[in-house]
Amino acid sequence: MRRIYEDAAYRTPQSCWWRDTAPPEDQPQLEDDHRTEVAIIGGGFTGLNAALVLAKAGVETTVIDAEQPGWGASGRNGGFCCLGGSKLGSRLLAQRFGNDQRNAWHRAERAAVDHVDALLAEHQIDVDRHSDGETLLAHTPGAMRDIENGADQTAATYGVTPEIIPKEHLRQRGLGGAFHGGVTLPIGFALNPARYHAGLARVVRSKGVRLYGQTPAQAITRSGASWRITTPGGTISADKVILATNGYSAEDVPDWLRARYLPVQSSIIVTRPITRSEQVRQGWTSLQMCYDSRILLHYFRLMPDGRFLFGMRGGLRATPRAEAALSRKIRADFRTLFPEWRDVEITHEWSGLVCLMRSLTPFAGPVPDEPGLYAAMGYHGNGVAMGSYLGARLAETMMGHTPTGPFPAFLSKPPARFPLGSLRRLILAPAYAAATLFDR
């Protein structure tokens, strides 16, 4: 597998809080030669949601993961089950694809959150859920004005009433930090992603899906009317294949993927449980999940056990030096935004890869000129809900069924290649530098 980051980006995180709360269950390695109707490469939320839909329809399905299902971003994210998935704003979506598709996209965002909500309820998966919707906090007075001016548009877009929180009300709402006000949209909730993944894996297995770990697809080739997947311990022959490898994709598995996705690092720190009196001192007692209005945004939430999760984007290298710099930055930002907690011990710290697309929209559809090969990826760091949803919708359309939720046509438009090939992450360096200046 040819991947574009340094090896460290593909190592198992040593200190991920979710792994302590729901240790991943190891699946066996694939051995010998197998035949299946559908093979899914990648056992995260996308792959398992596709597998569940297929298995419920009676389709024989096999999922393989290079490490273990849930090892990728699905097992190490911030657990914000929320709107999002595209980096194109509403206006640009309408300009590029027309109003109908723009509206269908916004309905899909809501449907994605509802999809996960329904899955958890149907299968009684306990995910330590909290937060009533999601709150955006303004990092400058200007950002607060933008929030206020955009409230009507947001209401029209999502069909809900956003709640504006003036700066002077933040502390009494338990959201006391260095912010200038905010807005809550009553859509979304926070979850423990490892528990969601473990519950989903259990359900998928109970429906007869075969799950394999330590089984990297080394090559995916056509063999007559089928696809042949080569792994270290054996092969799989499948009528159809879904690529669900997202930010952990490789340039050559299959070659079609080369330069069509752009992995970007995102990092998270988690503190020891913060006592009630420490919470009160900072003025932050709310379990609401929040993010700020910076371009390189921070996302954070106090969890039910008192631990605080704080995450941000930013790393373009995975060298020891770059990782140390990122670690210093995330800790410094945390202490600036929550000064009363500057001495609180940080017990866990990890990072992972999210996936950007050149179109700034996700892809979920057939790979052109490769009958039977499909992919779903590119949620721009918002794939808890959207990855789950598009995995399910892709499986439906692959079977020739009408998708059971909004699924705008532009999502199936084949992704274009980024310039600069394997050096493409350099594209982001000037954008990150500009954002750092702009975000002050």
Residue 5 makes CB contacts below 8 A (sequence gap 6+) with 263, 317, 318, 353, 425
Question: How far apart are the C-alpha atoms of 185 and 73, rounded to whole Å?
Answer: 25
Nearest Cα residue to 173 out of 293, 272, 302: 302
Binding to ligand FAD (CB under 6 A): which residues in 375-404? 377, 379, 381-385, 387
DSSP per-residue letters across 326-393: HHHHHHHHHHHHSGGGTTSPEEEEEEEEEEE-TTSS-EEEEPTT-TTEEEEE--TT-HHHHHHHHHHH
Find the binder of ligand FAD among 199, 311, 362, 415 (CB under 6 A). 311
Q: Of the ranges 38-46, 88-96, 181-189, 359-367, which one interacts with ligand FAD (CB under 6 A)?
A: 38-46
Residue 343 makes CB contacts below 8 A (sequence gap 6+) with none
Q: How far is the CB of 117 from ligand FAD (least distance, A)?
A: 14
- The answer to whether residue 199 forms part of the interface with ligand FAD (CB under 6 A) is no
Phi, psi of 173 (to 5 degrees): -90, 5
Site string for ligand FAD, 81-110 (x = CB under 6 A): -x----------------------------
Binding to ligand FAD (CB under 6 A): which residues in 66-85? 66-67, 71-74, 76-80, 82
Question: How far apart are the C-alpha atoms of 180 and 182, rounded to whole Å?
Answer: 7
Nearer to ligand FAD, 71 or 179 (CB): 71
DSSP per-residue letters across 212-249: ESS----EEEEETTEEEEEETTEEEEEEEEEE--GGG-
- The answer to whether residue 352 forms part of the interface with ligand FAD (CB under 6 A) is yes
Q: How far is the CB of 76 from ligand FAD (least distance, A)?
A: 6
Q: How far is the CB of 289 from ligand FAD (least distance, A)?
A: 8
Find the binder of ligand FAD among 18, 22, 24, 46 (CB under 6 A). 46
Q: How far is the CB of 400 from ligand FAD (least distance, A)?
A: 23
- The answer to whether residue 131 forms part of the interface with ligand FAD (CB under 6 A) is no
Site string for ligand FAD, 268-307 (x = CB under 6 A): x---------------------------------------
Nearer to ligand FAD, 284 or 379 (CB): 379
Question: How far apart are the C-alpha atoms of 172 and 320, rounded to whole Å?
Answer: 42
Cross-strand pairs, 138: none
- The answer to whether residue 17 forms part of the interface with ligand FAD (CB under 6 A) is no
Residue 82 makes CB contacts below 8 A (sequence gap 6+) with 113, 134, 187, 188, 289, 382, 384, 385
- The answer to whether residue 253 forms part of the interface with ligand FAD (CB under 6 A) is yes
Cβ atoms 246, 261 nearer than 8 A: yes
Question: How far apart are the C-alpha atoms of 13 and 127, rounded to whole Å?
Answer: 21
- The answer to whether residue 185 forms part of the interface with ligand FAD (CB under 6 A) is no
Nearer to ligand FAD, 248 or 418 (CB): 248
Q: How far is the CB of 407 from ligand FAD (least distance, A)?
A: 17
3-state secondary structure (DSSP) of residue 158: helix
Nearer to ligand FAD, 381 or 406 (CB): 381
Nearer to ligand FAD, 68 or 286 (CB): 68
Cβ atoms 303, 130 nearer than 8 A: yes
Provide the token pair at 272.
Answer: 């020891």
Nearer to ligand FAD, 179 or 248 (CB): 248
Question: How far apart are the C-alpha atoms of 291 and 182, rounded to whole Å?
Answer: 10
Cβ atoms 12, 180 nearer than 8 A: no
- The answer to whether residue 134 forms part of the interface with ligand FAD (CB under 6 A) is no
Residues, the chain, total? Answer: 440
- The answer to whether residue 254 forms part of the interface with ligand FAD (CB under 6 A) is no
Q: How far is the CB of 10 from ligand FAD (least distance, A)?
A: 8
- Apex 57 CA angle, 51 and 61, nearest 5: 35
Count of residues that bind ligand FAD according to CB under 6 A? 47
Nearer to ligand FAD, 59 or 220 (CB): 220
Q: Of the ranges 115-123, 132-140, 249-257, 276-284, which one interacts with ligand FAD (CB under 6 A)?
A: 249-257
- The answer to whether residue 64 forms part of the interface with ligand FAD (CB under 6 A) is yes
- The answer to whether residue 247 forms part of the interface with ligand FAD (CB under 6 A) is yes
Alpha carbon distances (Å) from 420 to 47, 269, 319? 29, 32, 20
- The answer to whether residue 245 forms part of the interface with ligand FAD (CB under 6 A) is yes
Provide the token pair at 81.
Answer: 């089950």
Binding site for ligand FAD (CB under 6 A): 1, 41-47, 64-67, 71-74, 76-80, 82, 216-217, 244-250, 253, 266, 268, 311, 351-354, 377, 379, 381-385, 387
